[in-house]
Structure 1
Amino acid sequence: MGAEITAEGLVMTYGDVRAVDGVSFTVASGEFFGLLGPNGAGKTTTLEMVEGLRRPQSGSVRIDDHIPSKREPELQRRMGVQLQASSFFERLTAREQLDTFGALYGVAAGRTDEMLEQVGLVDKADDRTEDLSGGQKQRLSIACALIHDPDVVFLDEPTAALDPQARRNLWDVLRSINDSGRTVILTTHYMDEAEALCDRVAIMDAGRILELDTPAALVRGLDAPVRISVAPGTLDADEARAMAGSDDVADEESGLTITTRDPARILTELAHRDALDGLSVKGASLEDVFLDLTGREYRA
């Protein structure tokens, strides 16, 4: 179960656009690895080269001892792929779709019921796929990728179009996939998703990897201030500004927000003033790292 993935110097160009520009990374067997980046960063193209759907113009990919672009049947049976855009056989129900995908791999029929349960589509089993919502189609696409119990799973924005409850439920499915020893590579625009699921993440932009590490290490490396919010009427703004360690104070209707790089000192002082009721502390997140590296301008 699981597979080791090695990508070295991957390059892919489209005309004058260098979509992937010398990307290298390794994924350990059983690791949950994330590829993050704004629109057009090269995530999907990189993933397609690792999956073997595109042959790199230069560079190489290996999954264990196999080259994905050679389309070796032995390797293909070990891979599960969920593409960014779902495509299903016309006029088939959700159950029939899974039965068909399973039959391609010689999977026993009972596996279909198991997958419908796992992705929460039991009540939609007999609905045609064209009648499913966007989120339901996304979950069915993931079930099709997992029907043959692969060793390595590629997920391209798997929770796009899902509501918050469905996203969190699907996180449990993805964790269980990884916990069983499978290697998982994920692309996503949701930083909280990457932070919650991934062992390591690579942040890409303009076809290159800008940073690669664990989410926690990337957040620590940002050296961002902490924002401490207190409830209205708890503390006077001038008192807050005079506190040792206070860098900035925002006085709003919802309460005071103290920005600091010495949160321990501020929290100790607030405790002495009996001002901890309704307090909240917000440090840096992976989203802050992402914006710091890729900028805040709009990407079409």
Structure 2
Amino acid sequence: MKKENSRRDAVRKMLVAGAGVALAPVAGFSAGTSSSENLNMKGNINHAVCRWTYGHLPLEELCAAAKQIGIKAIDLVGPKDWEVLKKYGLDSSMCNGAEINLVDGFCEPKFHDTLIKNYTEMIPLVAKAGYKNLICFSGNRRGMDDETGLKNSVQGLKKILPLAEKHGVVITMELLNSRVDHTDYMCDRSAWGVELCKRLGTANFKLLFDIYHMQIDEGDIMRSIQKNHQYFGHYHTGGNPGRNEIDESQELYYPAIMKAIVATGFKGYVAQEFIPSASDKIASLRKAVQLCDV
């Protein structure tokens, strides 16, 4: 399995490729029962899947498969591809396209001008399309301590949050591990992210609690969810170690984690962000949704 740079590479390729790939004709995507019948969903979890982990498929094919499984949304899709999602009746559960990249973020003031411009342009587009969540990143420390990173992030984010509040858009910062995949990333602990939320003091800024990443950097996943759920606006999955399927081959027990999320009253999306390693990748997605549908 490729390390986390596979996500960076996938996102970069999608930004470059634009809508051309997304509008490719739908191909056959595993004909068996394992991937062609709707699951009988319980309705407690709103299921989504991250676009980049299925970047080997044209977007239309992924949308068709998602609809057949019963998935409601696709994560990490930008404006060029929103019409494809709408064609299939799918939500853009976590919009992207305003960020610079994963390492140049709000904790570093020299990026603020670019970020403020990008988010000022993107926030109204997200709202006009009928979507809610827009991702952002802290970026790397570059020798910076936690307190300086918090102050810098507050300074930059406060320049865009009034616009987000006006349009009903939630700016969502992702928690990423710095131990394995994102060396030097600032927002690598839920405590740092929660403190940022408290200082900003608005319902229009939340955290994306990535279960895979936080298992690596802090563990104690269910307690973190129970304690800080009011600051978590979105969840990502992934098997640890390896970031592959979330089945019995890895250490996290997702049914219990999903029950902990449901117990908080969470009504947002849980997006599958594992990198499928099996030959039938859609079957892996179906099984993951099944495991998480509690």
Same fold by TM (over 0.5)? no
Q: Which has the higher strand share?
A: 1
TM-score (norm 1): 0.35
TM-score (norm 2): 0.36
Q: Which has the higher helix share?
A: 2
